[in-house]
Amino acid sequence: AKVRVIEDAAQAFGSSWRSRPLGTLGDVGCLSFHGTKNVTCGEGGALITRDDAVARRALLIREKGTNREAFRNHEVDRYTWVDTGGSFVLSDLLAAVLLAQLRRMETIAQARAAIAARYLDALQPLSAAGRLCLPVAQDRSTVNWHLFYVLLPTKEERDQVLRGLREAGIEAAFHFVPLHSSPYAQRQYGYRPGDLPVTEDIAQRLIRLPIYPGLTPEEQEMIITTFLQLVR
């Protein structure tokens, strides 16, 4: 039987792997336009698929299980409930915001890439000295720089650096909690601490530096200077 691949590309819009846009590698790709994403309308997302049957089913589900989309396209003379579904259609207001963001997508990407390049240049000596690890872009790939992470040697040092950045007014953050360590995963699937030691180790040593288009050169300099003072 064919295994269907649903690609979680929520954070990956604008990135590519081996010249293929992320979100198009599987049978279905899922994008997010949440307020924390590179391109945003506050809430909402998109589903990408080449499968016409999946697309038709998705149109029913997003319209509360009705065939309203077919009605709007004059394919039926009335619409009614034909499947299970929910209310997943963007409002016109959110769609207008998203359209404006999509038109600025290249500008947003360039701004993020410029900030990432400055971070990489400033922190490269520490990477060369083995004090930390920096993100590396693979060949034939495009990075959207949704996040800029640094991997420090120990959890204790990560916590110390994070505390120092926050005391300086810099909104740095630790990375996401591994899914298997969440209360739901432990309750529902029986995961326990230590089941994925490599994942747990890396998660405890990651730190994210601020990166967004509105970050000024002066703010970038303050972040870099403060970070270098904390990681000697």
Is 133 strand, coil or helix?
strand
Strands 28-32 and 45-49: antiparallel
* 73: pLDDT strictly greater than 80: yes
pLDDT tens per residue across span 53-67: 999 999 999 999 999
Residue 40 DSSP code: -
Which residue is associated with the tokens 């049978």? 27
Are 165 and 137 in the same domain?
yes
Cα–Cα distance measured from residue 161 to residue 145, given in angstroms and rounded to the nearest whole number: 22
Q: Chain-wide mean pLDDT for the chain?
A: 95
Cα–Cα distance measured from residue 230 to residue 30, given in angstroms and rounded to the nearest whole number: 38
How many Cβ atoms sit within 10 Å of the Cβ of residue 15?
Answer: 19
Domain closes at, from 59, 88, 103: 103
Amino acid identity, residue 163? R
Domain closes at, from 87, 103, 119: 103
Confidence of residue 219 (pLDDT cuts 50, 70, 90): very high
CA distances from 15 to 108, 142, 184 (A): 13, 5, 30
Q: How many domains does the structure of the chain reveal?
A: 2
Are 98 and 181 in the same domain?
no
Per-residue pLDDT at 155 = 96
Mean per-residue pLDDT for 2-28? 95
Per-residue pLDDT at 2 = 85
Handedness of CA 60, 184, 145, 6 (dihedral sign): negative
- The continuous run of DSSP H or E covering 30 comes out as strand 28-32
Domain that includes residue 91, residue range: 6-103
pLDDT tens per residue across span 97-146: 999 999 999 999 999 999 999 999 999 999 999 999 999 988 889 999 99
Per-residue pLDDT at 173 = 94
Residue 113 forms part of a structural domain: yes
Confidence of residue 26 (pLDDT cuts 50, 70, 90): very high
pLDDT tens per residue across span 149-198: 999 999 999 999 999 999 999 999 998 889 999 999 999 999 999 999 99
Residue 143 forms part of a structural domain: yes
Mean per-residue pLDDT for 47-54? 95
156: burial class by Cβ within 10 Å (0-12, 13-18, 19+)? Answer: exposed
Are 111 and 95 in the same domain?
no
Residues 183-217, buried b or exposed e (16+ Cβ, 10 A)? eeeeeeeebeeeebeeebeebbbbbbbbbeeebee
The model carries a pTM of 0.90
Per-residue pLDDT at 137 = 86
Residue 1 forms part of a structural domain: no
- The answer to whether 64 and 81 have CB atoms below 8 angstroms apart is yes
Residue 114 DSSP code: H
